[in-house]
Chain A
Amino acid sequence: MIKCENIFKSFDGRTILDNISVEFESGKTNLIIGRSGSGKTVLLKTLVGLHEPDSGSVFYDDKNYTALSFAERKEVRRELGMIFQGGALLDSSTVYENVRLPLDMFTNRSSAEKDKRVKECLERVELSHAGHLYPSELSGGMIKRAAIARAIVLNPKYLFCDEPNSGLDPQTSIVIDNLIRDITVEYNITTIINTHDMNSVMEIGDKIVYIHQGKKWWEGTKDDILSADNQELNDFVFASAMAKRAKRSL
């Protein structure tokens, strides 16, 4: 279980997160949605500890993550996987080396075992053929899949994804969404995804949290979202003409 309580965060006097408290559901796909600049990425990075909250706490299974020392946090971080917006693969390493790095750093497995695990993960994301390639030689979708492989190689308990569909075409977005959803179920992990893609919301969202101007405005399920009585949320969800037509036909 991951939850945050009364999170405040500001940069240079500008409030980005304003008293956010959320509990994310274990073993489910949790989505944080909102417009660009609403504070989604800052919230996600605060959850994983890349940003320190000005006040408030983040809990992993009742362990107060914000109160842990640097060394204790490292232990928790080994249970996290994260997919960054741009993939964040190490440019100087091949896909294979990128996926293998966490195994090399944190396990005492034999080289053959590590090799087997890397190949399993690459196969899972359908990149068996691309292990020898460098990130600069990959398409956007392949970068995201390689990042997923790296994120799951140590069997994490929690998976964080920062706009996994950004910059991808609609078909590839669906492939990535399905992959994340399937992995969440297969590995029984708690997944938290930042997105403003309504397709993702309707396809894979178990729990949805809507952030607006740094505040939590709404939370619920994908079934609730279409009938929610929240003007800001409705403006966001039904922003496109097609969505508006769909809403009218309901």
Chain B
Amino acid sequence: MKIFVNFFAAIGRYIQLMGKVFSRPEKANIYYRRILIEIDALGINSMPLVAIISIFIGAVIALQMGITLESPFIPKFMIGYATRETMTLEFSSTVIAIILAGKVGSNIASEIGTMRITEQIDALEIMGVNSASYLILPKVVAAVLFFPLLALFSMMIGTVGGYIIAAFTGIVLPAEYVEGLHYYFIPFEITYSLIKMAVFAFIITSISAFYGYSPKGNSLEVGRASTRAVVTSSITIMIFNLILTQLMLT
């Protein structure tokens, strides 16, 4: 019973915080500058990690498909098709979002948590600044704008990874692999993936900021907040992945 009470109390506090975050900003141009800074910190800085993971996963998917689809009845170009579909539908949005929940989410929770325990948030409040909006809104906006681009980037890099492994190992001819990439292409799948990523971006930044904004006490609390942020963001991403897939693809 107590778990349910705590759960709904946390949701209530989260909604209250979001109300503060999305209240009218004091000075739009300051927020604009901060959004650009956050795009760099949360988005552009994540590109190398996304690139490395995507290229290897793309290559591995192509390899596994090559091994699994070894049948004279299945055309080889299906390796390219399967790689594209896996990257587009699930990996570049959901799996990359889980990875970003670890990297970006823990960063946001610990940054804001440290600001809380060192009274930097109190200092902003005393100045009359809406600290929730000043600290959290630029992060949410930056992630919602930029993470879908990271998903696109991941799709491209992943399919290139598959192409490279195909060219080097000969499991499929590069031309066949490319044919598979074009095969039965549904542009809406890209839209679906980008919409999912935008929702996941909101989940990661808002939940991590919520946990970071809450701790009172010491650095141990900040560590715990950071862990809770990653765990809760990841579970929420999984739940919304199911909901969005049901809503958009069925």
Contact with A along B118-161 (1 / 0, CB 8 A): 11101111111110000000000000000000000000000000
Say if the beta carbon of A250 comes within 8 Å of chain B: no
Q: Which residue from chain A places its CB closest to the CB of B41 in the assembled complex?
A: A92
Instruction: Give the Cβ gap from A169 to chain B, nearest Cβ, in Å.
Output: 22
Query: Contacts of B30 on A, CB cut-off 8 Å?
Result: 104-105
CB of B128 within 8 A of CB of A84, answer no
- Bound: A246/B130 CA distance, A: 49
B173 touches A (CB below 8 Å): no
Q: A80-118 toward B: CB 8 Å interface, digit per residue (1/0)?
A: 111011101111000000000110111000000000000
Q: Choose one: B27, B115, B122, B130; the contact of A50 (CB below 8 Å).
A: B122
Interface status of B26 (Cβ within 8 A of chain A): yes
Partner of A84, one of B26, B27, B123, B129: B123
For the complex, what is the distance from the CA of A48 to the CA of B27, rounded to whole Å? 23
Question: Which of B26, B27, B120, B127 meets A77, CB within 8 Å?
Answer: B127
Q: Report if A50-B126 is in contact (Cβ < 8 Å); known contacts: A84-B119, A88-B119, A90-B120.
A: yes
> Do B27 and A80 touch (CB < 8 A)?
no
B119 and A77 contact, CB distance less than 8 A: no
Interface residues of B (CB under 8 A from A): 26-27, 30, 114-115, 118-120, 122-130
**Using a CB–CB distance below 8 Å, which chain A residues touch chain B?**
45, 48, 50, 74-75, 77-78, 80-82, 84-86, 88-91, 101-102, 104-106, 150, 160
Bound Cα distance from A77 to B127, whole angstroms: 6
A residues near B26, Cβ cutoff 8 Å? 105-106
Taking CB as reference atom, which chain A residue is nearest B120?
Answer: A88
Chain A contact residues: helix, strand, loop or mixed: mixed
Contact B126 A86 (CB under 8 A): no
- Interfacial chain A residues near B123, Cβ < 8 Å: 82, 84, 88-90, 150
Tell whether A88 pairs with B128 under 8 Å between CB atoms, given A104-B30, A105-B26, A105-B30.
no
A85 to B118, CA, bound (A): 9
Please, could you name 16 A-B residue pairs with CB atoms under 8 Å apart, sorted by A? Answer: A45-B122, A50-B125, A50-B126, A74-B130, A78-B127, A78-B128, A84-B123, A86-B119, A88-B120, A89-B120, A90-B115, A91-B115, A91-B120, A102-B127, A104-B27, A104-B30
**Complex Cα–Cα for A89 and B114 (A):** 12
Chain B residue nearest to A78 in the complex (CB): B128
Given contacts A91-B115, A105-B30, A106-B26, contact A74 B120 (CB under 8 A): no
